């Protein structure tokens, strides 16, 4: 588990960040539609593999010391609703917010307006936990509105019955939320979202900032794995010499990249 987590972090998140995310977000207010989508989806991949990899590394190291940490990610991009996404993403924090904030506030009891208030307050405080930044707060308030809206739509029976459609709609909503979370300011977030929607037509041409098209291929492949491949907790490896050799080679490949800076996205939190 430690080797797989390290591979997520070093071989996926860091490569995508350096080759795709950082160059494009460095020109966030001047991106055209295609570049804005690459920036948004690239960060969607980066933050997942960064934090999921970090969690797997922590669990693996704990196992080596005889401790068992709970699962912290459960393929969140497969979620078919925003509520399910938060049951799958950063599970330890989500469950803490649920047990110590949402339920004491009243939870799902009472009128719809009270449930919405409880969800908004919980997500607002969760945003403050990430840091004193308007982008963190607004991104979490955005998710609070989504959660409250989903709860009301569920009561009225207005949610899509198509599972693929629900997954696609949820994923799109999550990507928009990551734009708000990644941006350095609300203006930058609105500029990227405007480009993604086609409402802005800035002078683009920043595709040359991408180190290699292989970075885009890696990011796309990694995103596909989030939907269709088993996650670390579901994967089962045969106890054979070949499997051991492959994991050892993977670990060595990660270690050889340690000379390059690889800060964790969530280190600041």
The residues annotated with a catalytic role in the active site are 130
Q: What is the 3-state secondary structure (H, E, C) of 221-269?
A: HHHHHHHHCCCCCCCCCCCCHHHHHHHHHHHHHHHCCCCCCCCCHHHHC
Neighbouring C-beta atoms of residue 132, cutoff 10 Å? 8
Residue 269 tokens read as 């939190």
Cβ within 8 Å of residue 139, ≥6 positions away: 127, 177, 178, 180, 181
Of 179, 157, 177, 184, the residue nearest 26 (C-alpha): 184
- How does DSSP assign 135-184, residue by residue? HHHHHHHHHHHHHHHHHHHHHHT-S-S-HHHHHHHHHHHHHHHHHHHH-S
Cα separation, 43 vs 175, in Å, equals 9
Q: Apex CA 74: angle with CA 69 and CA 77, to 5°?
A: 145
106 backbone φψ class: left, alpha, beta (φ>0; ψ -120 to 50): left
Q: Are 65 and 78 contacting, i.e. CB atoms less than 8 angstroms apart?
A: no
Q: Are 215 and 16 contacting, i.e. CB atoms less than 8 angstroms apart?
A: yes
User: Please, what is the end-to-end C-alpha distance for the chain in angstroms?
Assistant: 23
Cα separation, 56 vs 72, in Å, equals 8
């Amino acid at each position: 588990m430690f080797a797989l987590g390290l591979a997520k972090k070093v071989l996926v998140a860091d490569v995508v960040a350096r080759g795709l995310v950082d160059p494009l977000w460095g020109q966030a207010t001047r991106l055209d539609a295609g570049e804005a989508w690459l920036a948004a989806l690239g960060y969607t991949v980066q933050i997942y593999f960064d934090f999921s990899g970090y969690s797997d590394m922590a669990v693996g190291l704990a196992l080596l010391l005889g401790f068992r940490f709970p699962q912290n990610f459960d393929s969140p991009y497969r979620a078919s609703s925003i509520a399910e996404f938060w049951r799958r993403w950063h599970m330890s924090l989500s469950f803490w917010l649920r047990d110590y904030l949402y339920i004491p506030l009243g939870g799902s009891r009472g009128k719809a307006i009270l449930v919405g208030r409880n969800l908004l307050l919980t997500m607002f405080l969760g945003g403050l936990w990430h840091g004193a930044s308007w982008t963190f707060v607004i991104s979490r308030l955005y998710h609070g509105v989504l959660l409250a809206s989903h709860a009301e739509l569920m009561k009225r029976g207005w949610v899509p019955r198509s599972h693929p459609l629900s997954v696609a709609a949820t994923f799109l909503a999550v990507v928009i939320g990551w734009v708000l979370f990644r941006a350095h300011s609300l203006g930058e977030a609105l500029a990227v979202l405007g480009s993604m929607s086609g409402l802005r037509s800035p002078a683009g041409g920043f595709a040359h900032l991408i180190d290699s098209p292989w970075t885009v291929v890696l990011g796309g492949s990694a995103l596909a794995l989030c939907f269709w491949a088993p996650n670390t907790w579901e994967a089962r490896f045969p106890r054979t010499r070949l499997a051991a050799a492959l994991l050892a080679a993977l670990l060595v490949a990660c270690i050889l990249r340690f000379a390059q800076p690889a800060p964790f996205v969530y280190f600041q939190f």
